[in-house]
């Protein structure tokens, strides 16, 4: 192993210090991730996430005038080294089926904007904005009481601002499919509050490889107008 460059008699001691610094900096090598991917400023990430979330809220409030929303929801979740938050506007379908049975079937359109904040140890973490539109099928107990249980199933489309979420999570495409299953309850005197747990999976359905997908376990609270 080569040592440090020899100190010439005419060179000041500072030269050896600079040579040592130069030599030690070569340890990253060509195969190392970029320095941007290996250094994380926690304060900056937090501020970016808050700014994104505020912009998402403002966007949804503006969109409400053009989108006939019946409900607004907020959700938070975690999966694959990534925290996520999302705001949604929902429009209920007018038609319900099987209303003469114990459980009836209906649904709603869900338009949302959210942020993903990854914190993978491998680095390359990219704060990602998620836009989506999803038709949701919901089956609920037909007889409405103070607490009404429901289950739901959905498949929708998403657009991600980043296709690589972190160093080891390359989603390949900005366009993704998102499906979820969930269960929860509707509560309140007017039956206007939803509380539910959802499991969501996103992937590009094999349009392009790699296609690792990402999974989230989510808690969602919604209010119907």
**Which pLDDT score is estimated for 22?**
43
Residue 50 belongs to some domain of the structure: yes
State yes or no: cis peptide before 86, omega within 30 of 0. no
Residue 28 belongs to some domain of the structure: no
How many domains is the chain partitioned into structurally?
1
Q: What backbone torsions phi and psi does residue 61 show, to the nearest 5 degrees?
A: -65, -40
**Which pLDDT score is estimated for 68?**
76
**Which pLDDT score is estimated for 36?**
36
CA dist 179 and 204 (Å) reads: 11
Q: What is the CATH number of the domain that holds 45?
A: 2.40.160.20
**Which pLDDT score is estimated for 4?**
46
Q: Which residues pair with 158 in a beta bridge?
A: 132, 176
Q: Which domain holds residue 200?
A: 33-224
**Which pLDDT score is estimated for 24?**
39
Task: Report the C-alpha dihedral over residues 82, 164, 60, 189, rounded to 10 degrees.
Answer: -30
Residue 72 belongs to some domain of the structure: yes
Which of 161, 149, 63, 81 lies closest to 115 in space, CA to CA? Answer: 161
Along the chain (225 residues), what's the average pLDDT of each consecutive run of 10 residues?
A: 47 44 41 38 55 56 62 97 97 95 96 96 95 96 92 97 95 96 95 97 95 97 96
Residue 51 belongs to some domain of the structure: yes
Residue 3 belongs to some domain of the structure: no
Residue 206 belongs to some domain of the structure: yes
Residue 182 belongs to some domain of the structure: yes
Number of H helices, E strands in the chain: 3, 10
Residue 191 belongs to some domain of the structure: yes
Between CA 119 and CA 126, with CA 124 as vertex, the angle to 5 degrees is 70
**Which pLDDT score is estimated for 189?**
87
């Amino acid at each position: 192993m080569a040592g440090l460059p020899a100190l010439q008699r005419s060179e000041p001691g500072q030269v050896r210090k600079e040579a040592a610094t130069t030599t030690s900096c070569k340890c990253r090598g060509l195969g190392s991730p970029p320095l941007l991917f290996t250094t994380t400023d926690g304060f900056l990430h937090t501020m970016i996430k808050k700014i994104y979330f505020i912009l998402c809220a403002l966007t949804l409030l503006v969109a409400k005038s053009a989108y006939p929303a019946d409900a607004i929801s907020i959700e938070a979740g975690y999966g694959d080294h990534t925290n996520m938050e999302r705001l949604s506007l929902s429009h209920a379908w007018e038609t319900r089926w099987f209303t003469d049975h114990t459980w009836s079937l209906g649904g709603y359109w869900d338009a949302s904007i959210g942020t993903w904040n990854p914190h993978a140890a491998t680095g390359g973490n990219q704060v990602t904005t998620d836009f989506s539109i999803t038709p949701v099928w919901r089956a609920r107990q037909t007889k409405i009481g103070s607490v009404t249980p429901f289950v739901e199933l959905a498949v929708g489309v998403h657009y991600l601002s980043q296709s690589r979420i972190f160093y080891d999570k390359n989603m390949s495409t900005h366009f993704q499919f998102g499906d979820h299953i969930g269960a929860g309850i509707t509560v309140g005197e007017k039956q206007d509050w939803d509380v539910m747990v959802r499991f969501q999976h996103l992937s590009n359905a094999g349009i392009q490889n790699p296609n690792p997908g990402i999974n989230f376990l989510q808690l969602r609270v919604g209010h119907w107008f």
